[in-house]
Each structure stands twice: as structure tokens, then as C-alpha cells.
Amino acid sequence: MTTPQPTSTAALDRIRETVAGNDVVLYMKGTRDMPQCGFSRNVAGVLNFIGVDYKDVNVLEDADIRQGIKDYSDWPTIPQLYVKGEFVGGCDIIIEMTLSGELDSLFAGKGIAFDSAAAAKIREANG
């Protein structure tokens, strides 16, 4: 088993700029329109369904970013959601927050536009 190389300063700087420069960022495998893993598909699906405007970053396109985002957040898995510069969580956390209504509260509290009726439909369908 190989040990991951330390993340370059340039990669961490790009991550910092992306997270700071966008209200909502999803680091994922694939893109919002073509997720490349089920966990990324689930989180992108929630964001797409509730109409959140977000920046998607495909970690499969850049190994430095793929490792760098894990180092940046000290979180071992992808996808990773950031809202207003703060790390929110990965797939399980986002799904739990969606079903409990916490994600609605987070977006509302941070001034992020979303379709609350669509979020309610997700909860109804999973209730």
C-alpha cells in the first residue's frame, strides 16, 4: 500500500480559492450532470432537486485536488459539501440533514436560495 504524497501548496491554494469564492461547493467524483459514484450522485441529486446553485469540482480530473480536499477538510471521503466557506459533510451527513430539515435551515440561515417545497417532497418520499 502506498502512502499518499503530501498535497502541494498550489493545490491547497486552489481549494481555498474555490471554497472562498463560491457560496456552495461540492467536491465530487464526476460532475453534477454525470456523477461517477453513488455517493456523489446522491448529494448532487439532492442539490439539483432542491435547486441549489453550486460549483461542482470533479476530483477525478486532478489527483492533487482529489487528495488535497481530504487534507484540507481532514475528512477521508468524497463527496464533500462546503457552504459559505464551511465544510458541512459527506454523503451520509447531507442525506441525514436533508431528511431532518437541517439542510433547509442551514441554507436559509446562510442566505442560500433553494426550493423548500422540493426539499419537503424529499422528506415526504422518505418518511
Strand partners for 83: 24, 86
Give the integer Cα–Cα distance in Å for 123 and 118: 9
Exposed, middle or buried: residue 6 (CB in 10 Å: 0-12, 13-18, 19+)? exposed
Specify the 3-state DSSP secondary structure of 75.
coil
H/E stretch holding 56: strand 55-58
Distance from C-alpha of 124 to C-alpha of 126, rounded to nearest angstrom = 5
Give the CA diameter of the chain: 47
Domains of the chain in start order, with CATH, are: 9-125 (3.40.30.10)
- What is the Rg, in whole angstroms, of the alpha carbon atoms belonging to the chain? 15
Determine the pLDDT at residue 7.
76
Low-confidence ranges of the chain (pLDDT < 50): none
94 is written with which cell numbers? 447531507
pLDDT, residue 8, reads: 83
Find the helix or strand (DSSP H, E) in which 43 lies. Answer: helix 38-49
